[in-house]
Amino acid sequence: MRVLGLAGSPRRNGNTDKLLAEVLRGASSNGAEVKNIVLSQLNISPCENCDACFTAGICKINDDMQDIYEELMLADRIVLASPLYFMGLTAQTKAVVDRCQSLWAKKYKLHIPPLGSDRVRKGLFVSVGGQSLPNLFQPAIATVKALFISLDIEYTGELVFSGIDKAGDISLEPGALDRAYLAGQKLIEC
């Protein structure tokens, strides 16, 4: 079982990274092979909406996104982690989502499994937000669900915490890191 973590925070070792690390540690404790990719360390251009992918399902932009495509194909479980910026995903994360347009084209235009096989894949969304508003995470959750549907990844849920803004705040949230660890274990079991 391979678990892919996509770390979408531009802040290294921040609250979202700590949660993701615990999810991956939980998955690893159940025997999974885990890989964490830090999106802010990659060169990923935005989608150009050129529709070149409509002919073969392949993005014409040759950058680090090519590695993400490969890792998505290899993964059995995907953990997408991003703090909220204006109730949405970070720019680094959203660039990856948008560049999955080529995989959307594979599925909906070319009728090819987007990740190269029909095996069951499952995904989890991990996030923190600085505000404590009702429905704070709904816009980001909608985006992640849309991505997972397009990639034939079953959405297993989210692990989200509001009122987490300053570096280290997640460590002060009672049970948050334990919940992340257990979510990683559960992700492997489901």
Rg for the chain (alpha carbons), in Å?
Answer: 16
Q: Looking at residue 142, what is its pLDDT?
A: 98
Q: Residue for token digits 């720019």?
A: 91
Phi, psi values for residue 75, rounded to 5°: -80, 145
Q: Are 184 and 150 in contact (CB under 8 A)?
A: no
Tally Cβ neighbours within 10 Å of residue 122: 19
List of domains in the chain: 2-189 (3.40.50.360)
Q: Looking at residue 190, what is its pLDDT?
A: 77
* Residue of 43, 41, 38 whose CA lies nearest to 17: 38
Give the residues of the chain that fall short of pLDDT 70: none
What is the percentage of the chain residues whose pLDDT exceeds 70?
Answer: 100
Q: Looking at residue 83, what is its pLDDT?
A: 98
Q: Provide the whole-model pTM.
A: 0.96
* DSSP-assigned letter for residue 49: -
Q: How would you label 57-72 residue by residue, b for 16+ Cβ within 10 Å and e otherwise?
A: bebebeebbeebbeeb
Phi, psi values for residue 36, rounded to 5°: -115, 125
Q: Looking at residue 118, what is its pLDDT?
A: 83
Q: Are 119 and 67 in contact (CB under 8 A)?
A: no
Alpha carbon distance 59, 50 (integer Å): 9
Beta-bridge mates of residue 37? 6
Alpha carbon distance 177, 23 (integer Å): 8
List strand residue ranges (DSSP E) for 49-89, in order: 77-81
Q: Are 184 and 27 in contact (CB under 8 A)?
A: yes
